[in-house]
Structure formats: structure tokens, C-alpha cells
Amino acid sequence: MKIATWNINSVRARVDRLVGWLKTASPDVLCLQELKCTDDQFPRAEVEAAGYRCCTFGQKTYNGVALLTKGPVTGEVRNIDDGEADEQARLLLATVDGVQVVSLYAPNGQEVGSEAHEYKLGWYRRLERWLQKRPPGPLVLAGDFNVAPEDLDVWDPRLFQGRTLFSEPERNALRSLTRSLGLVDAVRTLHPAEPMFSWWDYRMLGFPKNHGLRIDHLLVTADLAARLKAAGVDREARKGKQPSDHAPVWIELA
DNA sequence: ATGGCCAATTTTATTGGA
């Protein structure tokens, strides 16, 4: 079973890339983030023609997440279902082949100390509390977490020290989520010492200079970690004209 | 060639991304 996550940075601007990647990589599940469109604007026909079902949770202009699957999904949940209102479409949970899969797009946080940053940390606290109450079973949290966990995940840790995406409160939030739910960073488990970025800035030759960050992750429960066969980042998908600024990240389970 | 921001909308600027 191959599960992938990709912040596509506007799905309508990249339909051909999306369909091409589905055909080449052939994941069983693809979690998408930053659709930047409503559900009725999602390129459903093109994705279905490539052999995938579409479970989408979009909104106008910003955010938006989806689960594309070869097989059926059940039990869809949209956003953190804890009774608090949330106007931003950032999370979609569904069960696929007995595995609960979450496609999530964590808030960016803008600048440390800003209102957006507080929203980000609050969103992480809500996510952790909510998932602690979930029914037990195999779980994959996949998406753009907007946090680089370790020095190895940042092209210049000194430059990012204390800055958004790498500040201590953000890294603590991700660490707390991972530990309290007993999750494992799947890519890092199989590649413990290798810099593997998933995002590169469009500006200042970020990709050619490999000035990247690893902020897209697949966190899995221990039962799934034991089935890990392979994992990686598809840097090819970041090349060429009109790429997303993120590359797909994937895992293969036995 | 992996190349000097990009996408959507509020559109000829502004907002958010990270």
C-alpha cells in the first residue's frame, strides 16, 4: 500500500501535473493540500479518468484538502470535529482499506508572535486533544504540517532559528502530537540522517540551490511503522515549468 | 538543464504562502 501527500499549491493550476504524477507514481492514496478551490471547482473528471475517487474538502481561494484513492473510502470527517467552529478547510479524515488516513494542512503561522501564529499553535492543541479521543486502530497523519522538526530538516538552521516553521513552540507542538499519540515520522525512520526537503522557496533560486525545508510529513502508528518498506520525496515533481513549491512525499507499506 | 516568486481575487493592487 503506497500512501503519498502533496501540497499542490492550487489544484486547478496543476491538473496536468497531478494526473501525470498519479499515473507515474500510482499511489493507492494521495493526500492533497492547498486546493485553493471549492469542491465544485475541483478537477474531478480528470482525476476520475486517471482511476481515482475524489474525496474533497475545499473552500474559496485558500486552504482545502482532499483524499484521492483507488479504492472506496468510508467515514469521512471534515475538519477537527470537536464542536468548535472553524472556517478554514484544513483537515479531512477517512478510512481507506482499514486505515484511518488524515490529509491535513496546518496553518502557516506567518510571523512568530502574530495572531496567525497563535492560531497555528491553538490548532495543533485542538488536533492533539481530538485525536486522543479517536477510535483505536492504524492511523496515518499526512500533510503539510508547516513545521520542520529538526536541524536536519532545514537548509540553514541558524537562519531559521526562532523563525516561523522552526520556532521552539512550533517544534514542541509537533513533538507533543507525535509522542502523545504514539506516532512515528515514517520518512525519518527509514532515512535517519539524510536531508530530505519537501518544500523549496520559489524565490532566490531556492530549488536549484537546494535551499529547502522538510515540512510535509507522514506520521504513522506503530503497527504501520512495522510494515514500512520504503519512503521518500519525489524531487522530480518540483522540476520544470509551473511546479508546486512542494514535492510529493510517499511511503510504501507491506 | 533543477534557474532569479506564485496563484486567486478583492484584478493593473492586495493577500497569503513559508
CATH number at residue A200: 3.60.10.10
A84-124 confidence digits (pLDDT tens): 988 999 999 999 999 999 999 999 999 999 999 999 999 99
Q: Are strands A228-233 and A249-253 parallel, antiparallel or unpaired?
A: antiparallel
* Active-site residue, A223 included: no
Which nucleotide's C1' is closest to A12 (Cα)?
A: B7
Among A175, A173, A249, A252, which Cα is nearest to A217's? A249
Distance of CA A230 to the CA centre of its chain: 18
Compute the radius of gyration of chain A from its Cα atoms.
17
| % pLDDT > 90, chain A | 98
Contact A190, A174 (CB under 8 A): no
Backbone angles phi, psi at A61, to 5 degrees: 70, -50
**Closest CA-bearing residue to C1' of B18:** A108
In Å, what is the separation between the CA of A154 and the C1' of B4? 21
* pLDDT tens for each residue of A195-227: 999 999 999 999 999 999 999 999 999 999 999
Per-residue confidence band for A188, with pLDDT thresholds at 50, 70 and 90: very high
When divided into structural domains, chain A yields a total of 1
- pTM for the model stands at 0.97
- Given this model, what pLDDT does residue A131 score? 97
Protein residues bordering strand B (Cβ below 7 A):
A 7, 9-10, 12-13, 34, 36-37, 60-62, 107-108, 110, 116, 144, 146, 164-165, 199, 201-205, 207-208, 210, 213, 215, 239-240, 242-243, 245-246
Domain span at A161:
2-253
Q: Give the pLDDT confidence of A11-49 residue by residue, as tens digits.
A: 999 999 999 999 999 999 999 999 999 999 999 999 999
Q: Which of A52, A124, A144, A245 is catalytic?
A: A144
Distance A200 CA to B15 C1' (A): 21
